[in-house]
Amino acid sequence: MYRILLAATRVCLFAFLVGGGVVVAGQTLGIIVGSGQLVTAFGTDIADNVCVIAGIAGIFAFLLLYTPEGKENVPDAEE
């Protein structure tokens, strides 16, 4: 289960980072061209999907802590 969650976290994180780059590039292009519709499209529709992917990546990363392997990798707070 740990490997599946780790792979899913990595895939979602990669998609989130690429999606964020696409949003920034699209809005920058819209500003350079002077197209408010392009800036709005990248700021709403695409950015919403990227935020959902980021949330899913966060959930997967959180669930990693509840696997036996994940519990072994967490340092104790008492030390």
**Percentage above 70 pLDDT, the chain:** 89
> Distance of CA 72 to CAs 50, 76, 78, Å?
31, 9, 15
Look up the pTM and report it: 0.74
8-31: average pLDDT = 93
